[in-house]
Structure formats: structure tokens, C-alpha cells
Amino acid sequence: MFSGIIAAVGQITAIAPRHDGAATVRLSIDAGRLDLADVALGDSIACNGVCLTVVEQQAPCFSVDVSPESLACTVGLDRPGPVNLEKALRLADRLGGHLVSGHVDGIGEVLRFDPVGDNRLLEIRAPQALARYIARKGSITVDGVSLTTNAVDGSRFTINLIPHTLEVTTLGSLQRGSRVNLEIDLIARYCERLLNADGDGGHR
């Protein structure tokens, strides 16, 4: 689990096919300011909101393998470039954002990225299937960043990005037409599951 509070912006420096018959690729990532001292092989690191397993580590770099399924349903992991990084939560950590699983639910499209003073007004169109889970003043994860929605209109929602968020994440480089990884709030997902249970508490 993660919190959506980005610890550092890293850089995908290399992408290499694994030749394992499944089209898996290995990403080499420069962790930047992310402290890898307590990271071991097998640990999880969220990269642009995608939970990935560390398979090699030699500070300041680490490597992860990405499956074809993950590549097909996410953006930002198929080419060199900056990525938002967060290590998995420990039970004693502060939950500064909200509970994030690192499992991307869909890809959104940036419709607006307009300056409002020092802030930015970000408008995103989510896949229609996710619209029901997005609520005004609710939580959503965009490229791994925990954010709060300002307004929701159908499948569109807006977010106000403060200067700090723009400076310490990759969101400052967004523009109209950019595609972003979205993860809906876990609470919304479980509420729907409970409401749609067939009167048996979900047991089969």
C-alpha cells in the first residue's frame, strides 16, 4: 500500500526486453533523491502510481520488471523520462494522502491545465466506467499523486494544483492532451462491492 505522497521524481534511464516469451521489459530507474538504503530486493515502489517490484538495486538506481498487461493499461512506463516515486508504506508511517493500492484503474486525458495565480487548474476526462467512483471533494490518484477533486461533471473532474505539488512531482509538466494514470479511491470500490452483494455478505 501507498499514500500518494511522492517522495522523489526519478528518471527511467533504460528499457530492455526480457526475452522471456511474455514481452516483459526491465526498467532501469535513477531514483534521484529517493533514499534506497532501506530498500531490499522484492520490495515495492510505486512508479507513476504503478506498484512494481524491485529486482535489482544499487543506489542510486534500481530496476523493475513490467508485464505486458501493466504496459497495456498504464502510461509513462514505456519510454525514458521522469516518474513519480514512492516506497511502500510501513505501519508506523503517517498517512498524509489516502490509501493507494498502486493498481491503475484507467487512463485519463488532460483537458485543461490553466494557470490560476501560482496554482494550476487541472481538468481530466476519466474513462466513463470510472466516473461513478469520482466524487466532489473526494480523493483520486493521478500518476501516483494523491489529490482532492474540486468539481465533478460526468466523466470530467477538476483539481487545483498548488505550487509545492507542481515542484515536487511530474504534474508540473502536464499539458492539454497528456495522458495520466488514474486510481480511484479504495473506499468507493469497496462500498460498491458491499452494496451489490447478493445478501450473503459477499461469501460464495
- Per-residue pLDDT at 193: 80
Taking only the tens of pLDDT, the chain with its 204 residues reads 999 999 999 999 999 998 776 779 999 999 999 999 999 999 999 999 999 999 999 999 999 999 999 999 999 999 999 999 999 998 888 888 899 999 999 999 999 999 999 999 999 999 999 999 999 999 999 999 999 999 999 999 999 999 999 999 999 999 999 999 999 998 888 888 888 876 554 444
52 with 45: CB under 8 angstroms? yes
SS3 181: strand
Domains and CATH numbers, the chain: 8-87 (2.40.30.20), 106-192 (2.40.30.20)
- Quote the radius of gyration of the chain (alpha carbons, Å): 17
- Enter the DSSP assignment of 161: E
- Per-residue pLDDT at 95: 85
- Per-residue pLDDT at 187: 86
- What does the block give as the cell for 174? 502536464
Q: Which residues share a beta bridge with 109?
A: 125, 179
- What does the block give as the cell for 137? 471533494
- Per-residue pLDDT at 127: 97
Q: Which residues share a beta bridge with 122?
A: 113, 159
Q: pTM for the full model?
A: 0.92
- Per-residue pLDDT at 198: 62
SS3 60: coil
- Per-residue pLDDT at 171: 98
Angle made by CA atoms 133, 104, 195, in degrees to the nearest 5: 35
Euclidean distance between CA atoms 46 and 95, whole angstroms? 15
- Per-residue pLDDT at 202: 46
- Per-residue pLDDT at 204: 41
48 with 76: CB under 8 angstroms? yes
Euclidean distance between CA atoms 180 and 164, whole angstroms? 19
Euclidean distance between CA atoms 107 and 125, whole angstroms? 9
